[in-house]
DNA sequence: CGCACACTTGAGTAATGTCAAAGAGTGTGG
DNA sequence: CCACACTCTTTGACATTACTCAAGTGTGCG
């Protein structure tokens, strides 16, 4: 709890300001996130309950089994969400980036942990006040249902990957997913930055880090991708990557 | 589309009836389902858009890629929800039973298929009218968000299973899940009826049907379960089953 | 009763995991 | 500024789990 910082509450504005300038109104991530479902004129309601935080790489900021009394909006950095078996086996259920939402829970307690891979910035919403906000702004609840539906579709796609794809197909699917994400965020259409380790990729794809490394080397040998260092991937043959990912 | 039957619309009631008796008010499954979020006095709104259907075993009633213009509530029987790879590999993402909901979708089209394993009865909600209903009854939308959150938690649990558990652990987890379902539905605490084939179980657990059979035989040899025929399982050592399922 | 269909079991194979060693990249302290 | 130490990655050799192919055994239905 030492590395987080709380932004000041919105303060009175000089007369003549065009509209309230509070942390949420100024937020560049809003358009990507659940917060966009609330009208400009009511952003103060959101700003009143939200706190802004920053955590260092490797810090766990959600612990499996802890009371689930917060929800989060990632505003920067990369997060891994994971589940553990008692003997330490880990399954990463998702990587989160700028604009992603975290914390939907049916339960009293978190059923997963979340760890910052890079330095991460996020907004925290206390559950009860947020629920009141959802009641007052049905558009926000509708948006949240849409987000949940999206995540459910992604989870089913991941089950197909974990249950039925080969190591090579899993890697191709993973790279494609990252490519789609960065492209949608306005990034380049053929370059990926891997913020996570081979071990994390393995824990996401249900493989060992060695198999991840071997599969990447194989894709590289076949000139589907190129590696610059170990974190920069350039996709040379996008169509071929898609074919491999779909098991064709 | 031949085997489905449409129930008649609610009809005028004799004077003095205690309250409207329409298909939804009489529905025994309502308490288990999303429909319970709507007050008795407004059930007519629900009944006005819902149609009741019955499909034979082996019939696909949702096809991957078709326009996603309906949502479903299963009122009887067992359903498998699955995704396919182009070469025919199949991943079952869930089995649905009485009271389960199907059809949340972020997309214009279904990202999965649904097939009746046994004879199945279900209610169908056309998407647009249901969305209007969700707008008019926020409690129903809240309930749907809860259902989605539950499914998301189950999907993450399944990712852990598919990515990190051994065949034996997967089978134990599967049997435990069925046991919890039947227990919650008021069934016996130690008996399970397997409506699906070994092949379906394999497609759900990311295994082949032979590995499913071998793992079941192993649990039987170790006296954790007993098999009566091939569809009836009796759990002899529940605590041991839990230990195996959790990888302890 | 016999024909399907599903299930079980065995033998050999293939894919991925495990263990080990060496190389590459990065940050720190002398 | 360099050298060392640490971590991550790659690659190799071998082990293991689960898959494939195949034969044989129920079991339920017409």
pLDDT at A6 over 60: no
Residue B6's pLDDT band (cuts 50, 70, 90): low
pLDDT at B20 over 90: no
Contacts of B248 (CB under 8 A, 6+ apart): A86, A87
pLDDT at A93 over 80: yes
Q: Which residues of A touch B146 (CB under 8 A)?
A: 106
Q: Do B162 and A246 touch (CB under 8 A)?
A: no
Q: What is the pLDDT of residue B80?
A: 98
**Distances from the Cα of A19 to the Cαs of A22, A31, A44, A52, B74, in angstroms?**
9, 17, 11, 21, 49
* Structure tokens given for A104: 């939907």
Whole-angstrom distance, CA of residue B39 vs CA of residue B238 = 39
B154-165 pLDDT, tens digit per residue, is: 999 999 999 999
Nearest CB among B141, B159, B246 relative to A93 is that of B159
Instruction: Tell me which DSSP letter residue A6 carries.
Output: P
A15-56 pLDDT, tens digit per residue, is: 554 444 578 988 999 999 999 999 999 999 999 999 999 999
- CB contact at 8 A, B79 and B102: yes
Q: What angle do CA B179, B111, B58 make, to 5 degrees?
A: 55
Look at the block and give the residue holding tokens 């509708």: A142
Query: How many helices (H) does chain B have, and how many strands (E)?
Result: 7, 11
Contacts of B6 (CB under 8 A, 6+ apart): B51, B52, B53
Nearest CB among A153, A165, A247 relative to B111 is that of A153
Q: Do B138 and A138 touch (CB under 8 A)?
A: yes
Proportion of chain B above pLDDT 70, given as a percent: 92
Residues engaging strand D (CB under 7 angstroms): A 194, 197-199, 209-210, 212-214, 216-217, 227, 230-231; B 166-168, 206-208, 210-211, 229-230
- CB contact at 8 A, A54 and A5: yes
pLDDT at A153 over 90: yes
Q: Among A41-50, B162-171, B198-207, whose mean pLDDT is lowest?
A: A41-50
User: Phi/psi zone of residue B91: left (φ > 0), alpha (ψ -120 to 50 degrees), beta?
Assistant: beta
Which of B153, B173, B159, B155 minimizes the C-alpha distance to A203?
B159
Q: Which residues of A touch B248 (CB under 8 A)?
A: 86-87
Radius of gyration of chain B (CA): 20
Whole-angstrom distance, CA of residue B62 vs CA of residue B111 = 10
Whole-angstrom distance, CA of residue A178 vs CA of residue A109 = 30
Q: Which residues of A touch B104 (CB under 8 A)?
A: 145, 148-149, 152
* CA-based nearest residue in chain A for residue B137: A138
Q: Among A39-43, A206-210, B76-80, B215-219, whose mean pLDDT is lowest?
A: A39-43
* CA-based nearest residue in chain B for residue A204: B163
User: What does the DSSP assignment read for A167-228?
Assistant: HHHHHHHHHHHHHHHHHHTT--SSEEE--S-HHHHHHHHTS-HHHHHHHHHHHHHTTSEEEE
Q: Do B141 and A146 touch (CB under 8 A)?
A: no
Mean pLDDT confidence for A203-216: 98
């Amino acid at each position: 709890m030492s590395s987080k910082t709380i932004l000041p509450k919105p303060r009175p504005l000089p007369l003549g300001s065009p509209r309230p300038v509070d942390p949420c109104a100024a937020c560049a991530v809003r358009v990507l996130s659940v917060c966009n479902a609330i009208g400009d004129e009511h952003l103060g309601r959101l700003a009143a309950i939200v706190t802004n935080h920053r955590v260092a790489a490797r810090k766990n900021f959600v612990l499996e089994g802890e009371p689930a009394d917060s929800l989060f909006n990632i505003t920067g950095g990369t997060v891994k969400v994971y589940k553990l078996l008692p003997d330490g086996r880990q399954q990463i259920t998702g990587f989160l980036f700028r604009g992603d939402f975290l914390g939907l829970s049916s339960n009293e307690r978190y059923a997963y942990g979340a760890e910052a891979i890079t330095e991460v910035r996020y907004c925290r919403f206390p559950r009860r006040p947020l629920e009141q906000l959802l009641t007052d702004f049905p558009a926000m609840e509708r948006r949240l249902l849409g987000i949940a539906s999206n995540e459910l579709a992604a989870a089913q796609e991941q089950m197909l990957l974990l249950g039925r794809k080969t190591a090579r197909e899993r890697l191709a699917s993973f790279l494609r997913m990252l490519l789609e994400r960065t492209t949608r965020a306005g990034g380049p259409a053929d370059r990926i930055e891997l913020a996570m380790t081979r071990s994390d990729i393995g824990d996401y794809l249900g493989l060992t880090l060695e198999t991840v490394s071997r599969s990447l080397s194989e894709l590289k040998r076949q000139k589907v991708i190129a590696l610059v260092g170990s974190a920069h991937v350039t996709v040379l043959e996008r169509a071929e990557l898609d074919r491999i990912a779909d098991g064709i």
